[in-house]
Amino acid sequence: DTEVTQTPKHLVMGMTNKKSLKCEQHMGHRAMYWYKQKAKKPPELMFVYSYEKLSINESVPSRFSPECPNSSLLNLHLHALQPEDSALYLCASTPGQGDSNSPLHFGNGTRLTVT
Amino acid sequence: AQSVTQLGSHVSVSEGALVLLRCNYSSSVPPYLFWYVQYPNQGLQLLLKYTSAATLVKGINGFEAEFKKSETSFHLTKPSAHMSDAAEYFCAVSVADSWGKLQFGAGTQVVVTP
């Protein structure tokens, strides 16, 4: 079982839809991450939140909009996506963003398909 | 900047045989090194990590890895493969002050044959 919970597990959306991915952790971690993973590839960092503030945006298109309502929750709002955005979206957390020796705790991801 | 290279995108081992997955890193400062495993339709799970303490690191599920600075390597081994070890394995590196930016290798797919 993972301590980082992601919902939904699967999502199919059209290119004109608006949807949101949710992530929740109750480990008291203060850094939360969004990763995108294409099939047979390693995860790619999208966003990092540290103490509920966006600290890293890896030049992600504006059709992806992250939000951190509180220290336990992380959302990723999706709008006007393209078929190439279909991927596994992973949420992760660490005690603090500056803890480079702390491993990432991953959720099981949301499998997104854009039609 | 730091990086990792995983040698072999696909490894096939017989059940009961040695599992050896190779990872070489590049870093101008002391690295922190990690091995993660990803089972189908799941997220990544930490197997073990090296953070400058003991060079031989033991992890979960019988895996271990040895940090060799002279060879810039952090290879993952398991003496006897089990069918449940079939998964994708990722080596990753970070350094102090990298602010959460973990660099992953390309991954190695392990297949275990009976």
A33 with B100: Cβ contact below 8 A: yes
In this complex, which of A40, A90, A100 lies closest to B95 when CB atoms are compared? Answer: A100
> Measured between CB atoms, which of A4, A43, A103 is closest to B34?
A103
* C-beta of residue B43 within 8 angstroms of C-beta of residue A33: no
CB B50 within 8 A of CB B74: yes
CA B75-B81-B24 angle, to 5 degrees, is 10
Distance separating alpha carbons of residues A38 and A111, to the nearest angstrom: 10
Chain A residues in contact with B30 by the CB 8 A cut-off are: none
Q: Is the pLDDT of residue B50 over 60?
A: yes
Give the mean pLDDT of B12-37.
Answer: 95
The pLDDT of residue B73 is above 60: yes
Residue range A62-75: mean pLDDT, rounded = 96
Strands of chain A, DSSP E: 4-7, 10-13, 18-25, 31-37, 44-50, 53-57, 64-70, 73-79, 87-94, 105-106, 110-114
Polymer length of chain A:
115
State the pLDDT confidence band at A64, using cuts at 50, 70 and 90.
very high
Does B58 have pLDDT greater than 90?
yes
Residue A100 to residues A37, A59, B12, Cα–Cα distance (Å)? 21, 22, 32
Instruction: For residues B64-90, give the mean pLDDT.
Output: 97
Q: Which residues neighbour B69 within 8 Å (Cβ) at sequence distance 6 or greater?
A: none
- Asked whether the predicted pLDDT for residue A1 surpasses 60, the reply is no
- B21 CB contacts (<8 Å, ≥6 apart)? B6, B8, B11, B35, B75, B76, B77, B89, B91, B108, B110
For residue A48, the model assigns a pLDDT of 93
Question: Tens of pLDDT along A72-113?
Answer: 999 999 999 999 999 999 999 998 877 778 889 999 999 999
Report residue A81 as tokens: 């996506």
Decide if pLDDT at B96 tops 90: no
Residue A2: pLDDT over 70:
no
Q: Under DSSP, is residue B27 helix (H, G, I), strand (E, B) or coil?
A: coil
Residue of B nearest to A95 (CA): B100
* A16-47 pLDDT, tens digit each: 999 999 999 999 999 999 999 999 999 999 99
**Residue B41 contacts A, CB cutoff 8 Å:** yes
Query: At B109, is the pLDDT very low, low, confident or very high (cuts 50, 70, 90)?
Result: very high
